[in-house]
């Protein structure tokens, strides 16, 4: 763990005791895509229960931990002895209950992400003992097509699903539309392209809104790709609630726009705990 801003040895001992008593996982690798995005892999001390792809758990660090220097001051400063916890979707396959992967974005005024971004391999942190959530993509009937639309860190639950189940769901199309500003922030691009070549029923449609001139892929907002038929045409599916289930995760404005279009133009109904539907949303 990077040194905390300790002023005396007594504080340092107290912080070490809190870490020892609370932290239960170790960072094994980090892949910084940009100053705002990082993929972190951790190993927990004790295996977790088997979980469903798309679910989430919590990550936590104490308020005394180091924050990356390019972060802004806490909007609401955290007490040094407070364990700051937030929920994060798991990106790794559900077959591994000991090593977990998380795709994180930096909120520069936040309490937790500036501290998570400072973690290096070998550092310790807290990982929740429960894995929960109702965003369970594998529950779609096998004969139905699956359309996943994600931006930013909203790719995480879809990666868990694809890594866990894409090889099983070959009875109908599985499509992932991923949006980002530029190629650096298009997480998992190489892996997803490989999957699209390895599995005939899987289609990967990445799109960038601020690409370099060398980018040969889509240069459109996801909403535009829906309206002009690109997703249906290149995904090989029909946006009909009787045939295709849709999952949304990511930027709230994108989710709002796509949800509204699907409901108004195609007759989709949002799935809730009380009312089953064909449109599933993971809200951050």
**What pLDDT is attached to residue 76?**
85
**What pLDDT is attached to residue 185?**
92
Cα 123 from Cα 29, distance rounded (Å): 10
- Domain containing 58 equals 9-127
**What pLDDT is attached to residue 3?**
45
pLDDT exceeds cutoff 70 at 8: no
Find the range with the poorest average confidence among 9-13, 44-48, 121-125.
9-13
Are 96 and 176 contained in the same domain?
A: no
**Residue 49's pLDDT band (cuts 50, 70, 90):** very high
Instruction: Supply φ then ψ for residue 25, to 5 degrees.
Output: -150, 160
Among 127, 160, 179, the domain-final residue is 127
Are 241 and 222 contained in the same domain?
A: yes
Alpha helices in the chain (DSSP H): 9-22, 113-116, 155-165, 189-198, 222-227, 230-235, 252-266
**Percentage of the residues of the chain whose pLDDT score is greater than 90:** 86
**Residue 180's pLDDT band (cuts 50, 70, 90):** very high
pLDDT exceeds cutoff 80 at 9: no
**What pLDDT is attached to residue 6?**
47
237-261 tens-digit pLDDT: 999 999 999 999 999 999 999 999 9
Among 127, 157, 173, the domain-final residue is 127
pLDDT exceeds cutoff 90 at 139: no
Are 21 and 105 contained in the same domain?
A: yes
Query: Which whole-number Å values give the CA distances from 162 to 56, 136, 176, in the listed order?
Result: 16, 12, 9
Residue of 249, 245, 263, 254 whose CA lies nearest to 223: 254
pLDDT exceeds cutoff 50 at 153: yes
pLDDT exceeds cutoff 60 at 7: no
**What pLDDT is attached to residue 60?**
98
CA angle 197, 151, 284 (to 5 degrees): 135
Among 95, 127, 159, the domain-final residue is 127
pTM: 0.93
Q: State the residue for tokens 């699956």.
A: 146
The verdict on residue 31 lying in a domain is: yes
Across residues 163-191, what is the average pLDDT? Answer: 94
The verdict on residue 261 lying in a domain is: yes
Overall residue count recorded for the chain in this entry = 284
55-109 tens-digit pLDDT: 999 999 999 999 999 999 888 888 999 999 999 999 999 999 999 999 999 999 9
Are 116 and 153 contained in the same domain?
A: no
Here the CATH number for the domain that contains residue 270 is 3.40.50.80
Residue of 59, 51, 49, 47 whose CA lies nearest to 22: 59
DSSP letters of 129-144?
Answer: S--B-S--GGGS-TTS
DSSP letters of 196-263?
Answer: HHH-TTEEEEEEESS--TT--SB-S-HHHHHHTTHHHHHHT----TTTEEEEEES-HHHHHHHHHHHH
**What pLDDT is attached to residue 89?**
97
Helix (H, G, I), strand (E, B) or coil at 55: coil
């Amino acid at each position: 763990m990077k040194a905390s801003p300790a002023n005396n040895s007594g504080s340092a001992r107290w912080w070490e005791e809190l870490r020892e008593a609370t932290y239960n996982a170790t960072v094994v690798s980090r892949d910084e895509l940009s100053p705002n995005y990082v993929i972190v892999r951790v190993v927990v001390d004790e295996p977790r229960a088997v979980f469903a792809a798309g679910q989430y758990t919590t990550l936590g660090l104490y308020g005394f931990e180091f924050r990356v220097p390019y972060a802004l001051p806490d909007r609401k400063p955290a007490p040094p002895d407070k364990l700051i916890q937030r929920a994060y979707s798991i990106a790794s396959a559900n077959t591994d209950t000991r090593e977990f992967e998380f795709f994180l974005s930096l909120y520069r005024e936040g309490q937790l992400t500036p501290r998570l971004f400072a973690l290096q391999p070998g550092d310790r942190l807290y990982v929740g003992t429960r894995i929960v959530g109702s965003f369970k993509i594998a529950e779609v009937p096998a004969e139905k097509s699956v359309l996943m639309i994600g931006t930013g860190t909203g790719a995480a639950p879809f990666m868990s699903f694809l890594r866990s189940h894409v090889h099983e769901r070959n009875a109908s199309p599985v499509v992932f539309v991923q949006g980002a500003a530029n190629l650096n922030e298009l997480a998992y691009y190489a892996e997803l392209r490989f999957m699209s070549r390895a599995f005939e029923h899987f289609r990967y449609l990445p799109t960038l809104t601020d690409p370099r001139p060398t980018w040969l892929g889509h240069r459109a907002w996801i909403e535009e790709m829906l309206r002009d038929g690109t997703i249906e045409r290149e995904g090989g599916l029909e946006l009909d609630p009787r045939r295709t289930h849709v999952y949304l995760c990511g930027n709230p404005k994108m989710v709002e726009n796509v949800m509204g279009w699907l409901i108004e133009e195609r007759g989709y109904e949002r799935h809730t705990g009380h009312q089953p539907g064909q449109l599933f949303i993971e809200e951050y």
